[in-house]
Amino acid sequence: MSKSATYLTFCKIINRKTFYSTVKYQLELGNRASLCTIGSSKNINKLKTVMNLESRLEKLKADNLFRTRVTRTSKVGRYVSIEGKQMLNFNSNDYLGLASHPAVILAAQDAASKFGFGSTGSPLMSGYTSMHQELEYAMADFLSYPKVVLFSAGYLANLGVAQALLKRKDWFIQDRLNHASLIDAAQITGAELKRYPHLNNQKAETIIQADVNRFKLWATEGIFSMDGDSHDLFSAALSAHTYNAMLWVDDCHGIGVLGERGRGVLDTMTLSEAEIPILSGTFGKAFGTSGAYVAGSHDLIETLIQDARTYKYNTALPIPVVAATLKALEIIQTEPWRREKILELIHLYKTGCEQYGLAEQAKFSDSAIQPIMLKTESAALEKSAYLKQCGIITTAIRPPTVAKNQCRLRITLNSELEREDIEALIQCLIGNY
Ligand SMILES: Cc1ncc(COP(=O)(O)O)c(C=O)c1O
């Protein structure tokens, strides 16, 4: 894109009419010399005033909502190095410790040597290799779904599914606490977004039965990313079936981690494609790699391949990532002890919290996500800073990720942690450091 065209697009995005029309006028005149004035200090100041970035950032800081990235300088595992200091890892989504697993790393290295690194294009151009195909087949087999398609990220998968399936007059029914990618997906479809209170199947059912003839896509997370809890998906599936809605479960935090075979809510609630026609997830969590998948019927998946713009117009996953994911999937299937270890740690954590008077603050779940509720932004920030001093890393979760007064520490358990680490965490949580 030429420089002037880029400016035009930029001006459209910020949608400041006067500024935009000036630039458009200059472009229409074909007066290249006058375009130079865009870069003048007067115009830069004007742009600064229009966008107001400085005061936006200041406000975030004043409201305790400013995000600071912590710089990791090591592999992830039981410990991570943060800014040069070794800390106990209660922070990552690498629930099964596969991100740094030697066999996963080796698989990526071997694939890079044999196939190269980048996939070189969208899956519909040059980016689809026999390895991508092998992973799709292996995932379909693992989940017992007819067909699977890979995306480059869970975020993109969610946008792609919604955009490919929904039209303007359709309804997109969602749990109020669904992940941002599902909420954002609603925006790009133009379908009507209808949200119901968290986990409230009855309210959801009231919505879907209001118009039986309309196409309704009902999306929920399997294990909720910030709360670790889950719907009664069997009754959700029953309502969806009765009132003609299509149920879509994004089980990013369940698949790999929960269930006898590691198939997340499919295993823990004994469900299958019959109840959940669309199942999606990411490789960025329990698999320890990156990318995502959507599972469904042949027709559904073929529709996504044909119509999902985030599939068609996005470079396919790098080959080493695909190879690493295949290895991670093998470990998920053959090493159930990792899931058993997490269950043991969950049990220890809960009994420890109860013993030390933390049960009220702790919002217990049956998953690896165990929030400690702290209400305010400052309380969450202070607690996570205190834990950092204790040598424990967690994240303070604040709006807009969660609602106001729902700030929390998002504690995650992983199979690399040991029993004594849970004890250390609880001692720090009660201020005993
Ligand atoms: C429920 C849920 N869906 C989708 C995503 C996005 O996945 P990815 O990180 O692969 O884009 C996440 C990641 O945080 C998630 O928690």
Q: Is 250 in the pocket of ligand 1 (CB under 6 A)?
A: yes
Each residue of 317-365: pLDDT tens digit?
A: 999 999 999 999 999 999 999 999 999 999 999 999 999 999 999 999 9
Task: Report the half-sphere exposure of 359 (CA within 13 A, side-chain side).
Answer: 9
- What distance, in Å, lies between the first and last C-alpha atoms of the chain? 57
Residues of the chain above pLDDT 70, percent = 91
Residue 394's Cβ-count burial label (10 Å; 0-12, 13-18, 19+) is buried
In angstroms, what CA-CA distances link 356 with 276, 352, 429? 40, 6, 9
Look up 253 and say whether it is catalytic.
yes
Q: Which domains does the chain have, with CATH numbers?
A: 3-51 (no CATH), 79-89+336-429 (3.90.1150.10), 102-334 (3.40.640.10)
Specify the ligand 1 atom closest to the Cα of 283: 10
Query: Per the residue annotation, which of 158, 201, 225, 290 is the catalytic one?
Result: 225
Query: Per the residue annotation, which of 285, 327, 341, 383 is the catalytic one?
Result: 285
Instruction: Report the alpha-carbon distance of residue 305 to residue 291 in Å, rounded.
Output: 16
Each residue of 61-110: pLDDT tens digit?
A: 999 999 999 999 999 999 999 988 999 999 999 999 999 999 999 999 99
Question: For 44-92, where are the E strands, in sequence order?
Answer: 79-82, 85-89
Say what the pTM is. 0.89
Q: Whose CA is nearest to atom 13 of ligand 1?
A: 154
Which residue is it, tokens 């697009």?
9
Each residue of 15-31: pLDDT tens digit?
A: 444 444 444 545 454 55
Each residue of 127-153: pLDDT tens digit?
A: 999 999 999 999 999 999 999 999 999
252 neighbors 281 (Cβ within 8 angstroms): yes
Look up 178 and say whether it is catalytic.
no
